């Protein structure tokens, strides 16, 4: 079973700064079947990115995804106050696995 | 707009079976474009896939839970269900049902229901 490792565990940044979140797979992921979700306290996760780099409907273009194989990245170009949350990557296709999450907190 | 609502006991005794149902409203569970699944999140921790099912009955189970889990679908009631047997305190979590786009990821979540395993 493929394991997804997210880093860092916590990212402390200020509004307006760029956030770079990493998701590494223990084996190569075929067809870039990787998604990113945002979860705020007390809320259900929200789908941001699927197929590694496609933004879901209504997701601002400051969110972008990239990567292939074993290394994937979620980038938030300029953090808005509402972007401080926990972010999860998720593998789909033949396997369903979540990463452990990265918390983006206000510095 | 499609909505998902979990129902079931909030407290289960150790070694017993956790049973939850998800009712789908505002749309049909018998769609070619979606799967239906369960995800859990222990307090203060991350997300964990439990199982996924297609309306025809084909299933996927998390290998780490497969021996204890059964997911089923009832198209006549527009519902799908989860059973997790031999529960322990480690199974205490918020359990959420979810709609999964075929070949993709979760696009709609239920609000989640807290299940505590305790005597």
pLDDT in tens, A19-78: 999 999 999 887 789 999 999 999 999 999 999 999 999 999 999 999 999 999 999 999
The predicted pLDDT at position B12 comes to: 98
CB atoms B109 and A44 under 8 Å:
yes
pLDDT at B118 over 90: yes
First to last CA, chain B: 39
DSSP B45: S
Asked if B84 and A29 count as a contact pair (C-beta separation under 8 A), the reply is no
The predicted pLDDT at position A88 comes to: 98
Q: Summarize pLDDT for B50-77 with one digit per residue, the tens.
A: 999 999 989 999 999 999 999 999 999 9
- Rounded Cα–Cα distance for residues B119 and B116 (Å): 10
Q: Which two tokens stand for residue B109?
A: 């979540």
pLDDT at A94 over 80: no
Q: What rounded mean pLDDT belongs to chain B?
A: 95
- Indicate the pLDDT class of residue B5, thresholds 50, 70 and 90: very high
DSSP A35-92: EEEEE-TTS--EEEEETTTEEPTT--TTEEEEEEEEEEEEEESS--GGG-SEEEEEE-
CB atoms B105 and A1 under 8 Å:
no
Q: What rounded mean pLDDT belongs to chain A?
A: 94
- Residue of A33, A96, A97 best to disrupt the B interface, most CBs of B under 10 A: A96
Task: Please give the share of chain A, as a percent, with pLDDT higher than 90.
Answer: 87
Least confident of A92-101, B29-38, B82-91: A92-101
The residue-averaged pLDDT of B18-44 equals 95
- Bridge partners of A67, per DSSP, are A72
Interface of A with B (CB under 8 A): 1, 33, 35, 37, 39, 44-45, 47, 50-51, 56, 88, 90, 92-93, 96-101
Q: Summarize pLDDT for A8-34 with one digit per residue, the tens.
A: 999 999 999 999 999 999 998 877 899
From A19, A44, A46, A20, select the one nearest A35 (Cα to Cα): A46
The predicted pLDDT at position B82 comes to: 98
- Bridge partners of B80, per DSSP, are B22, B73
CB atoms A98 and B106 under 8 Å:
no
pLDDT at B110 over 90: yes
- Indicate the pLDDT class of residue B100, thresholds 50, 70 and 90: very high
- Rounded Cα–Cα distance for residues A81 and A78 (Å): 10
The residue-averaged pLDDT of B7-27 equals 97
The chain B residue lying nearest A97, using CA atoms, is: B49
CB atoms B109 and A96 under 8 Å:
no
pLDDT at B33 over 90: yes
Residues A66-83 as b or e (16 or more Cβ within 10 Å = b): ebeeeebbbebeebeeeb
Task: Please give the share of chain B, as a percent, with pLDDT higher than 90.
Answer: 93
Residues 6+ apart with CB under 8 A from A58: none
- Rounded Cα–Cα distance for residues B102 and B33 (Å): 5
- Indicate the pLDDT class of residue A95, thresholds 50, 70 and 90: confident
From B71, B97, B81, B95, select the one nearest B3 (Cα to Cα): B97
């Amino acid at each position: 079973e493929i394991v997804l490792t997210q880093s860092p565990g916590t990212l402390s940044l200020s509004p307006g700064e760029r956030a770079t979140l990493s998701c590494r797979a223990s084996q190569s992921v075929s067809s870039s079947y990787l998604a990113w979700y945002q979860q705020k306290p007390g809320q259900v996760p929200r789908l941001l990115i699927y197929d590694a780099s496609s933004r879901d409907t209504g997701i601002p273009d400051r969110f972008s995804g990239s990567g292939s194989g074993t290394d994937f990245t979620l980038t938030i170009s300029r953090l808005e106050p509402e972007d401080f949350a926990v972010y999860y990557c998720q593998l789909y296709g033949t396997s369903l696995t979540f990463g452990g999450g990265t918390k983006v907190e206000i510095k | 707009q499609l909505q998902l609502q979990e129902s079931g006991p909030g407290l289960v005794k150790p070694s017993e079976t956790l049973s939850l149902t998800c009712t789908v409203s505002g749309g049909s569970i018998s769609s070619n474009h979606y799967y239906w699944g369960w995800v859990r999140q222990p307090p203060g921790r991350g997300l964990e896939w439990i199982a996924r099912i297609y309306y025809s009955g084909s299933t996927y189970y998390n290998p780490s839970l497969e021996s204890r889990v059964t997911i089923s679908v009832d198209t006549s009631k527009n519902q799908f269900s989860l059973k997790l047997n031999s529960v322990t305190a480690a199974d205490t979590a918020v359990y959420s049902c979810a709609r999964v786009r075929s070949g993709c990821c979760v696009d709609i979540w239920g609000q989640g229901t807290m299940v505590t395993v305790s005597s």
